[in-house]
Structure 1
């Protein structure tokens, strides 16, 4: 189990780090390629667009072939496209290579979530899911600093380092992972999606996941604005505060497997939802930065704790289309993030972070009710094979 935990942690850390890699380089790239700051922001968006768009394609393809091979091809393409970013000589080439990096990443991460139930014993699935989530959490904490430090000598260095790391991970995957050939290779692309769409429980869980992520992302998107607007924090102060919040998220993801085993999966799932709803309601009464910072950090402890449970519950719904359900979950997350950005701005303008907190509490509660209605919190579910 340890080797798989470490491998999946490193893969998610690498992909997560690359996601945040460009942010500190934008001022440099803007000057280098002679584009405005607003235009340079498309280098971040291009990666997200490539990832979100091809996540819907990568899932069914992976469910019809050997997931190990798809993972290796994805890492190879990711390494190449990221290295090409370091060689880009124009803004449009950089934009293209960032788009391709996002496309290749979309073929990597679904294989992680889909492979865990196949290579890990059922009793350890949530724990390994937690380690993979921890890779993303740490990437959120150190992705921007890593990009800044590596770019101290040259802006090209971070891309080359990430590319080399991807190649090394390819070698480790080749030697560590067993063949993960699908038993349903005769099922076509659209038939794979049909398996998911016709599964009432899978569709309901995806809807609940979307609702949860919409509420959650509305909060995380405007935390920095809240700290600046209400408490007058500087950019450095906000960064320090966000490190604590990120550390809380990491702690929760590492504890997820422990509590799922100690309290049972369904109870841990239900209690995490309850805690998040109550904490967000409590945030509406926060009257100082210290209180707000402590409470939002605890929120993200539970946020980190619940994410592996969310992914595990989705993987349990359609065993023959695990990559597809993972890809759809990614699409639902990006859609939730998009909705959160649009609605959150209006809420913050009208009611400040109080409006954001109430919105998050209500949406997370609705998500919890959807999971409850479809039996996710029944203790008997704990005995279900994954």
Structure 2
């Protein structure tokens, strides 16, 4: 079946699944993303260096990566709804700890705890999407679910920054806890058990299952692509706000406007990008997004004092590129694992992403520094590293694209034969 052949409508329950997963991703993404805009506050309030802040950001990533690896072997052995609720509960508790942490070291501990649970949630969500939706419509589904990133910018980050400024930097985390509790009850009350994968699960024990998943060549190239895919965002994001304020001349009061306008644009573009990836091809959209992201990264990282409207325009184009890469790559990656390996593959893939992101954050903290004038130094060098990673990822994702295309064509050829129509 070609990518052009897609279902036109989703059932009421399918729409609920898409909505609740998007809302759930919104809380998880916001928990991670809100830390970056709070960077300039934390550097001052906690009297920490850029290196220490990089450690706080990467601590979540490393603990999330470790948790994903430890749980990957078990991911296909339980009802996905129960797995989702277990880890989401831990995420809520960890975020509450962040909202109560009075010192740098306690915040660091809270981020590690949150990562142990929050880092696994994305892989479970993607496994659910892969179980419930065919490859031909996953671009659309991913487009809606990935709106969580845009929504966090439109609503979450501006409100979080406002609360942080009016109350305290802890307030955004407490806000996330309140939202997450609502989502938790929706999942408990409305989501049906997801157990279809249990009928074809691997008969190996958890550790053997993990080892076999880690050793398959076609899976390894997926993990390699994910490693570099994570580099860009994790390198630019942690110091993006500090760079904007110190180097580009953005006022603190203008930050919510920047995030809100960018987010609103992404709310419009994300579903369009998802539909486009299903219509013209996921890899073509990935290439287009990569070109846009690379060009915008080079421009953005070499700016001086710049009017706000120009920064907003560049930021929108940058996020269009980043979002196009995320949506198309996520949809492509779901075609890689066999049904009985989906949970394990998604778990390992999420771990690889988090660990790679943690390393990228640490490297970013080593590359950039705060100069004597308060400027963020070496940001252009950081941009060059990101562009290089984008270029190499294009090659790796092409291999994923070829594998996914061949696999889909083979599946389409086998299904008619099983029905006796060929």
User: Normalising to structure 2: TM-score of the pair?
Assistant: 0.72
**Equivalent position of 1:328 in the other structure:** 348
Greater helix percent: which structure?
Answer: 1
Q: Aligned-pair RMSD on alpha carbons?
A: 4.2
Residue 180 of structure 2: aligned partner: 166
Instruction: Label 1:209 to 1:252 Cα distance change in 2 as closer, same or farther (>3 A).
Output: farther
| Distance apart, 1:74 and its partner CA | 1.3
1:187 aligns with 2:207: no
Question: How far is 1:100 from its partner?
Answer: 1.6
Q: Does 2:291 match 1:280?
A: no
User: Residue in 1 aligned with 2:83?
Assistant: 70
* Distance change (3 Å), C-alpha of 1:14 and 1:321: same
C-alpha separation in 1, matches of 2:31 and 2:297: 32
Mapped contact 1:206–1:314 kept (Cα < 8 A): no
Are residue 2 (structure 1) and residue 15 (structure 2) matched?
yes
Partner of 2:396 in structure 1? 367
Q: Which residue of 2 aligns with 1:37?
A: 48
2:157 aligned with 1:144, yes or no?
A: yes
Provide structure 1 residue ranges, at least 5 long, that are not aligned to the other structure. none
In structure 2, stretches of 5+ residues that fail to align are 1-13, 369-376, 415-422
Q: For 1:363-386, what per-residue CA distance to the aligned partner results, in whole angstroms no more than 9, with x for missing partners?
A: 24333443355465999489599x
Equivalent residue number for residue 102 of structure 1: 115
Match in the other structure for 1:79: 92
Contact 2:67 2:351 in 1 (8 A): no
Deviations 1:201-229 (A, max 9, x none): 22112212323333565566776688789
For normalisation by structure 1, the TM-score amounts to: 0.78
Distance in 2, matches of 1:137 and 1:51, equals 22
Judge conservation of contact 2:127–2:343 (CA < 8 Å) in 1.
yes
Q: Distance in 1 between matches of 2:76 and 2:232?
A: 30
* Distance in structure 2 (CA, Å) of the matches to 1:100 and 1:368: 32
Matched residue, 2:190: 176
TM-superposed deviation, 1:105: 0.9
Q: Offset at 1:279?
A: 6.4
Cα distance in 2, alignment partners of residues 281 and 19 from structure 1: 26
Shift of 1:12: 0.4
Matched, 1:208 2:225: yes
Q: Is 2:274 aligned against 1:257?
A: yes
Structure 1 range deviating more: 320-329 or 219-228:
219-228
In structure 2, the CA distance between the partners of 1:141 and 1:58, relative to structure 1 (3 Å rule), is farther
Shift of 1:166: 2.3
* 3-state SS of 2:223 partner: helix
SS in 2 for 1:320: helix
